[in-house]
């Protein structure tokens, strides 16, 4: 039995990934800023290194060493670049990029010790071509893709694969909130998506389930778009 941690596991994509990995037979703990009564749900802000380390310590004492990590915690920001305060920029970089840094650095010793590991970073299809009013988010997610490629090279010899999944438009609370605020036209996005539907969190979970599986061991450093054929 493998032990997995999914960040952002309280909602949307992270929740679907946690459910899928459990269905596939893994022990799964989640880390989310939102609290939950679930005994395997740990509350931490991924930007807070001490809180991340405490959460992983608690998970290790619950489950044992962790050799699968899916980084799905994320936060969007819609603002015209000129109106973006530096604090806005910093928070978005902190959650979407630095949070990934903290979680990977904290879990790596378990994977190196085991000589086996799987890391999947959820980035964004907006990194393919950019997205107006989302500069901080797209910058952070693009950096996550770059981090993914570098770590794949660095840790391949240790038996650890590192891949990214940039989702297209996925029906989650984050997306619906953006739609409610008038930032996204969901029907228009569906119309310009080759497969003509919105993505489901389960579509992303299926890709993650494959990438963390034993049989995906020869796949690393890849950016696997799950976007219905639409590269934003
Ligand atoms: P969501 O808002 O439903 O879920 C995100 C989860 O992350 C929430 O449970 C939230 O509490 C948690 N979170 C946010 N900030 C955190 C922090 N600082 N520390 C710990 N947890 C934190 O959103 P989602 O759509 O499921 O997004 C999941 C991931 O997919 C995100 O990284 C997002 O950027 C990415 N993504 C989503 C879409 C989409 O269309 N939904 C598209 C591209 C990328």
Separation of CA 78 from chain center? 19
Is residue 112 within 8 Å of 69, Cβ to Cβ? no
**Number of Cβ atoms within 10 Å of the Cβ of 152:** 19
Site to probe by mutation for ligand 1, drawn from 6, 9, 13, 226 as the one with most ligand atoms within 8 Å of Cβ, is 13
Atom of ligand 1 nearest to the CA of 199: 40
pLDDT digits (tens, 9 = 90+) for 1-58: 899 999 999 999 999 999 999 999 999 999 999 999 999 999 999 999 999 999 999 9
Query: For the chain, what are the domain ranges?
Result: 3-169+200-216
122 Cβ closer than 6 Å to some ligand 1 atom: yes
46 Cβ closer than 6 Å to some ligand 1 atom: yes
pLDDT at 108 over 70: yes
Would you call 137 a catalytic residue per the annotation? Answer: yes
- DSSP code of residue 11: S
pLDDT digits (tens, 9 = 90+) for 194-230: 999 999 999 999 999 999 999 999 999 999 999 999 9
pLDDT digits (tens, 9 = 90+) for 145-155: 999 999 999 99
Give residue 164's pLDDT: 99
Q: Residues 6-36, buried b or exposed e (16+ Cβ, 10 A)?
A: bbbbbbbbbbbbbbbbeeeebbbbbbbbeee
Q: Which residues pair with 29 in a beta bridge?
A: 5
Question: Beta strands 41-43 and 68-71: pairing type?
Answer: unpaired
Atom of ligand 1 nearest to the CA of 137: 34
pLDDT at 232 over 80: no
pLDDT digits (tens, 9 = 90+) for 48-96: 999 999 999 999 999 999 999 999 999 999 999 999 999 999 999 999 9
Separation of CA 230 from chain center? 19
Q: Please name the helix (run of DSSP H) or strand (run of DSSP E) that holds residue 144, with its range, or none.
A: helix 135-155
Q: Where are the beta strands (DSSP E) in 64-149?
A: 68-71, 117-122
Site to probe by mutation for ligand 1, drawn from 38, 139, 174, 207 as the one with most ligand atoms within 8 Å of Cβ, is 174
pLDDT at 192 over 90: yes
Taking domain 3-169+200-216, whether its CATH number is 1.10.150.120 is answered by: no
pLDDT digits (tens, 9 = 90+) for 152-178: 999 999 999 999 999 999 999 999 999
pLDDT band at 116 (very low <50, low <70, confident <90, very high): very high
Written as six digits, the tokens of 219 are 């796949």
167 Cβ closer than 6 Å to some ligand 1 atom: yes
Average pLDDT of the segment spanning 113-122? 99
Q: Which of 137, 155, 183, 218 is catalytic?
A: 137
8 Cβ closer than 6 Å to some ligand 1 atom: yes
Matching residue, tokens 């840094």 = 101
- DSSP code of residue 107: H
Is residue 11 within 8 Å of 23, Cβ to Cβ? no
């Amino acid at each position: 039995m493998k032990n997995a941690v999914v960040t952002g596991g309280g909602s949307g994509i992270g929740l679907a990934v946690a459910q899928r990995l459990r269905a596939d037979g893994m022990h799964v703990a989640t880390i989310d800023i939102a609290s939950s009564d679930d005994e395997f749900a740990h509350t931490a802000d991924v930007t807070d290194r001490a809180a991340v380390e405490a959460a992983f310590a608690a998970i290790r004492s619950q489950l044992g060493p962790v050799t699968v990590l899916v980084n799905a915690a994320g936060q969007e920001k819609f603002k015209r670049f000129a109106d973006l305060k530096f604090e806005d920029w910093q928070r978005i970089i902190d959650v979407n990029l630095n949070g990934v840094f903290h979680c990977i650095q904290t879990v790596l010793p378990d994977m190196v010790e085991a000589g086996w590991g799987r890391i999947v970073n959820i980035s964004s299809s907006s990194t393919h071509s950019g997205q107006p009013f989302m500069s901080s988010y797209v910058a952070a997610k693009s950096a996550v893709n770059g981090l993914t490629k570098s770590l794949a090279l660095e840790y391949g010899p240790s038996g650890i694969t590192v891949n990214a999944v940039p989702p297209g438009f996925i029906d989650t609370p984050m997306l619906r909130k953006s739609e409610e605020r008038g930032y996204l036209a969901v029907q228009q996005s569906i119309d310009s998506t080759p497969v003509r539907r919105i993505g489901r969190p389960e579509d992303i979970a299926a890709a993650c389930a494959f990438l963390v599986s034993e049989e995906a061991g020869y796949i690393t450093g890849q950016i696997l778009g799950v976007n219905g054929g639409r590269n934003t």
